[in-house]
Structure 1
Amino acid sequence: MTTDAVHAELVSLYAGSTPVRSRWSYRADQPFTVVAAFQTDRNRWVEWVFARDLLAEGLMTSAGMGDVRLHPVTDRGLEMLVVEIESPEGYAMLELDLGGVADFLDATEEVVPPGEESEYFDVDGLIDEITKV
């Protein structure tokens, strides 16, 4: 694959019935994380950044102890990924098509194979950014 980024749009269900658009993205220059943005209003998106490893684990079993928790579930014959997000502003539990999220994760692994993240991560750039405060 020649691209250094992956993007996907997925529809999730909130409270079991309300559709919520989400945008998922991954960039090679930030190889350890994925960004999931959920549309809350017509022009407002809320972004959550979390570890790609957390997403991979959450597709198979319960994962996460903090603000983002994931677990797979099968209900009415549908395989879904439950994403629970929490902040001081509130809590949401969303259900996404497990296959769609797995396809997104597979695409990220084509951009940066698991275990090779440190080869894409610019430590010098991060230090430069932090020291320019």
Structure 2
Amino acid sequence: MRHTVVERELELLLILSPEWSIPVPARLGYRSDDPYAVHITFHITSEQPVNWTFSRDLLVQGVFRPCGQGDVRVWPTRVEGRGVVLMALSSPDGDALLQAPAAQLSAWLERTLRAVPPGSEAERLGIDDALDHLLAQ
């Protein structure tokens, strides 16, 4: 089975306070051989980029309504008349609130949904084929 990679460079804003935010270059990544997950790599001022992986479904839902709990929460809002998606990320290293442009994020998510339509993710994992092979031995 051919694997598809859907990537997009996107500038997010790291919200430091209501008055202050800084741009953070990020790469959104999706791979059809890991169909339930999205990967976001943040290029901040540290030596190594910061990587986050979470549910594609969570991000898709978060474009339309608040969702998530715990380490990753996502919700839509408007800032100065523009649609944006906020992502609150928590880890032992700290918390971050990031703002993404809703139109660009949605366009990228749409490409991932065309690559692997919702409900067809399990077929991409090849679990059934592996299980059949194992049981045939």
TM-score range relative to shorter protein: 0.7 to 0.9
Query: How does 1:1-133 map onto structure 2 within 5 Å?
Result: 4-15=4-15, 16-41=20-45, 43-123=47-127
Q: Shift of the alpha carbon at 1:3?
A: 6.4
Larger Rg: 2
Shift of 1:44: 2.2
Number of residue equivalences: 126
Cα RMSD (Å): 2.1
Gaps of 5+ in 1: 128-133
Residue 122 of structure 1: how far off its partner (Å)? 3.0
How far off its partner does 1:108 sit?
0.3
- Higher RCO structure (Cα 8 Å, ≥6 apart): 1
SS at match of 1:34: strand
Report Cα offsets for 1:14-53 as digits up to 9, x if no partner: 1252100110000010000100111122652111110111
AA of the residue aligned to 1:17:
S
- Runs of 4+ that moved beyond 6 A: 124-127
Quote the Cα distance in structure 2 between the aligned partners of 1:117 and 1:26: 12
Provide the C-alpha distance between the structure 2 equivalents of 1:126 and 1:53, rounded to a whole number of angstroms: 25
In structure 1, C-alpha distance between the alignment counterparts of 2:3 and 2:82, rounded to whole Å: 32
Contact preservation (8 Å) 1:3, 1:111: no
Aligned identity (percent) is: 34
Amino acid in the other structure paired with 1:8: R
Closer/same/farther in 2, CA of residues 114 and 90 from structure 1, 3 Å limit = same
* Cα separation, 2, equivalents of 1:39 and 1:125: 38
Secondary structure of 1:83 counterpart: strand
